[in-house]
Amino acid sequence: MTVHCGCCGAEITSTDRIDYRLNRPEQLLGVPGERLGAPTGGLLVGPDGDSYIRCLLPVRLTGGTEIVFGAWTQISKVDAMYAHAVWDNDEQYANLRISGRFANVIKPWDLLGVPVEAAVLNTDELPYFTSHPLLDREWDRDEVLCRIRHPLPVPVRETLGEVWTVERTEGMRCAVDGRTVRFTSPDRRVALDVYADLTGGSVSDFLGAVLDGFPASAEHSVTHDGPELRHAFWLSEVIDGHEEQVFHGHVVRPGTMISVRCVHRYPADRSWAQHVLNSVRFIG
């Protein structure tokens, strides 16, 4: 599957390094663009003269993946003037060193305002952070990447309802629509819902209540594994004038259920839809 960067639209071909550009410093979110100054592609000036420089923050993740945030640091006006003066001079730019305060929010960390330092390591790149709380250790890949809703070149495990996890396939965007979590790509769509059963009935009764109204003639499969029941069936539906393959899956535990609805156009994607259901895990 082709994966495109959520920031610039370029095709992402590497899974070892993910570049993710943060849009603006937190303090400038919502400020009209005409009130901002951008003397270079890496410098930004707010309406009150507050100055920022974009730097590269490499964060090591488990599984051999690195995410490099293009993040902002607030610096003094004097440092901003100097950075602007040397920006296009490779010899002088190579010696650029700056210090300031981190100006972005990156979940799951609390980093806004922490002191940081950066330096130019390669004259054809932005400065790299050389002193930052996220450097020099490895972080859990899913815990970090699940916060990024843009398509990613690697699969990411998402948590739903605090008791379920499911894999978001590479190349899929994530969005929350009310209580429904959606994964989307040009040819595939997934809708996930978590339900609670307060009746104290069996998992079969719980599933039966959810399936009320679906055709009994559909191709159903049911498996039991201890307290867990897994169920799936296929339908062919016309959606927006096109015939689509729709896979309905359910994983039921006492008191809780996750519903998985996968829509795709091509029969070859049938195994992908089954993989989504198979990736569901109970963690409660």
pLDDT tens, position by position, 5-31: 444 455 555 578 999 999 999 999 999
pLDDT band at 273 (very low <50, low <70, confident <90, very high): very high
**Residue ranges of domains in the chain, CATH in brackets:** 3-139 (no CATH), 155-282 (3.40.1000.10)
Higher pLDDT, 50 or 241: 50
pLDDT tens, position by position, 218-233: 678 889 999 999 999 9
Give the mean pLDDT of the chain: 91
pLDDT tens, position by position, 180-198: 999 999 989 999 999 999 8
Q: What is the pLDDT of residue 40?
A: 80
DSSP string, the chain: --EE-TTT-PEE--SSEEEEE--S-GGGTT--GGG-EEEETTEEE-TTS-EEEEEEEEEEETTTEEEEEEEEEEE-HHHHHHHHHHTT-HHHHTT-EEEEEE----TTS--TT-EEEEE-SSTTSPPEEEE-TTTTSEE-HHHHHTT--S--SS-EEEEETTTEEEEEPTT-EEEEETTEEEEEETTEEEEEEEEE--S---HHHHHHHHHTTS-TTSEEEEEEETTEEEEEEEEEEEETTEEEEEEEEEEEETTEEEEEEEEES-GGGHHHHHHHHHT-EE--
